[in-house]
A and B are shown apart, each in its own frame.
Chain A
């Protein structure tokens, strides 16, 4: 799977638009490494608004819940966040695999409320790209492999005109966690 129709630059461009509309901030302040919370003052409701705008733009469904919530839903309460509301060793390990070691500051014992501040524009772009990359090789309606986009945001079948369908963000996180668990047996 994967697609080469919508580029990362395009996704970043749409994300910038969504952030500007939601937070009324200047475009110049938004860089890939910008933390929406620390640098732009976003709050949890703002994220959902930004996600909604991205969904409308690309015709996708973003994850409703963060990786930590999915870990606890799949492997039990307490596996990612301990009774003091702090990250467990295993949660940190998963977050580092997902977001990379270099750009983030996750550590065991970190307060769960500090976690969202680690979300950067780049990590949101990656979330959108993951969803777009779930595009099937062939159109499920006509069986042809002729995906295209006229406006670089919406993909449709060049053969039958069917709009592209993607996996939703939550399912993709769950699939990814299942894969990580199979490899690493963390939980």
Chain B
């Protein structure tokens, strides 16, 4: 049983971490997968290549595109190549993110602009470029958010962009309703990805949080997959929190 057989998913920022787990989950469910990474010639290109090979070994088609979503031209290339190679797009998962780790008030002008260019404008570029393809398939868009959208995180200016994007998700779910494109988001708790390695440098004692409150990348991926499956047909414009209960547990001692 491969529910997504014959479908095509594109996951932005999928060489590592949560994006990587989402790409695998979609491939396991039968979809062909477009992998995207930003930086040419570095470790993420290598990981993207390995991921493509693994997905092909599962019997799916996969290819990778280097593109920085902050630029309109690279985004155009991302979707043009998807259409050329796979001829369709069913699921767009907006996972890519990039941000400095320091308090908002300390960001330089160029850092502020980059923050908005990648994490807000870049995502909207992707939505715009994907529309002609998604219209044809009554496709789905899933944005990967984080608890930073609603709670303070030390040195995490990305949170404000996540909040903005959750609002974009609400807006687009209505404005794209006529095109039969559904838009939802998954809001992840604390996941031990490469970004976590950074976060823990700014968040003293985060390692002391009980293990059961950390989210596995697969747990986010499964909900992203659910939001692209028929079972979620009644959900639109929503952000589903996947945090192992962290946001409820935070006001009391864990385990009490």
List the interface of chain A (C-beta within 8 A of B): 23, 37, 41-43, 45-46, 48-49, 51-52, 55, 64-65, 69, 72-73, 77, 81, 85
Contact A37–B42 (Cβ < 8 Å)? yes
Residues of A within 8 A of B252 (CB): none
Closest 10 CB pairs of A and B: A45-B194, A49-B197, A48-B198, A43-B42, A41-B43, A77-B108, A41-B42, A43-B43, A52-B197, A48-B197
Name 15 extra pairs, CB < 8 A, besides A23-B43, A69-B108, A77-B109: A37-B42, A42-B42, A43-B39, A43-B42, A43-B44, A45-B16, A45-B195, A45-B197, A46-B194, A48-B197, A49-B197, A52-B201, A64-B102, A64-B202, A77-B108
Chain B 1-56 interface residues, beta-carbon cutoff 8 Å to A:
16, 39, 41-44, 46
Residues of B within 8 A of A55 (CB): 201
Which size bracket describes the interface of B in this complex?
20 to 34
Contact A42–B201 (Cβ < 8 Å)? no
Please, which residue of chain B has its CB at the minimum distance from the CB of A81?
B110
Residues of B within 8 A of A49 (CB): 194, 197
Q: Closest approach, in angstroms, between the C-beta of B218 and any C-beta of chain A?
A: 20
Q: How many A-B residue pairs have CB under 8 A?
A: 41
Interface flag for B136 (CB, 8 Å): no
Q: Tell me, in angstroms, the Cα distance from A23 to B42 when the chains sit together.
A: 11
Interface flag for B101 (CB, 8 Å): yes
Residues of B within 8 A of A45 (CB): 16, 194-195, 197-198
Most buried by B among A41, A52, A72: A41
Q: Tell me, in angstroms, the Cα distance from A50 to B41 when the chains sit together.
A: 19
Q: Tell me, in angstroms, the Cα distance from A49 to B108 when the chains sit together.
A: 24
Q: Tell me, in angstroms, the Cα distance from A4 to B85 when the chains sit together.
A: 61
Residue interface bits B175-204, CB-to-A below 8 A is 1, else 0:
000000000000000000011011011100
At the interface, is chain A mostly helix, strand, loop or mixed?
Answer: helix
Interface flag for B256 (CB, 8 Å): no
Q: Tell me, in angstroms, the Cα distance from A52 to B201 when the chains sit together.
A: 7
Task: Offer 6 A-B interface pairs, CB within 8 angstroms, sorted by A.
Answer: A45-B194, A46-B43, A48-B197, A64-B102, A64-B202, A72-B108
Q: Tell me, in angstroms, the Cα distance from A51 to B201 when the chains sit together.
A: 9
Q: Tell me, in angstroms, the Cα distance from A46 to B193 when the chains sit together.
A: 12
Residues of B within 8 A of A23 (CB): 43
Interface flag for B233 (CB, 8 Å): no
Contact B46–A41 (Cβ < 8 Å)? yes
Instruction: Answer whether A64 and B201 are a contact pair too, CB < 8 Å, given A41-B42, A43-B39.
Output: yes
Most buried by A among B41, B43, B46, B195: B43
Contact B202–A73 (Cβ < 8 Å)? no
Contact A52–B200 (Cβ < 8 Å)? yes
Residues of B within 8 A of A72 (CB): 108
Chain B 38-91 interface residues, beta-carbon cutoff 8 Å to A:
39, 41-44, 46
Q: Tell me, in angstroms, the Cα distance from A43 to B108 when the chains sit together.
A: 21
Residues of B within 8 A of A52 (CB): 197, 200-201
Please, which residue of chain A has its CB at the minimum distance from the CB of B17?
A45
Instruction: Answer whether A41 and B201 are a contact pair too, CB < 8 Å, given A65-B102, A73-B106, A77-B108.
Output: no
Please, which residue of chain B has its CB at the minimum distance from the CB of A112?
B110
Q: Closest approach, in angstroms, between the C-beta of B197 and any C-beta of chain A?
A: 5
Q: Tell me, in angstroms, the Cα distance from A77 to B105 when the chains sit together.
A: 13
Residues of B within 8 A of A37 (CB): 42
Residue interface bits B108-143, CB-to-A below 8 A is 1, else 0:
111000000000000000000000000000000000
Contact A64–B101 (Cβ < 8 Å)? yes
Contact B195–A41 (Cβ < 8 Å)? no
Q: Tell me, in angstroms, the Cα distance from A85 to B203 when the chains sit together.
A: 29
Residues of B within 8 A of A64 (CB): 101-102, 201-202
Please, which residue of chain B has its CB at the minimum distance from the CB of A45?
B194
Q: Tell me, in angstroms, the Cα distance from A72 to B201 when the chains sit together.
A: 22
Residues of A within 8 A of B197 (CB): 45, 48-49, 52
Q: Tell me, in angstroms, the Cα distance from A55 to B250 when the chains sit together.
A: 28
Residue in contact with A42 in the complex, picked from B43, B106, B109, B202, CB distance below 8 Å: B43
Q: Closest approach, in angstroms, between the C-beta of B202 and any C-beta of chain A?
A: 7
Contact A85–B110 (Cβ < 8 Å)? yes
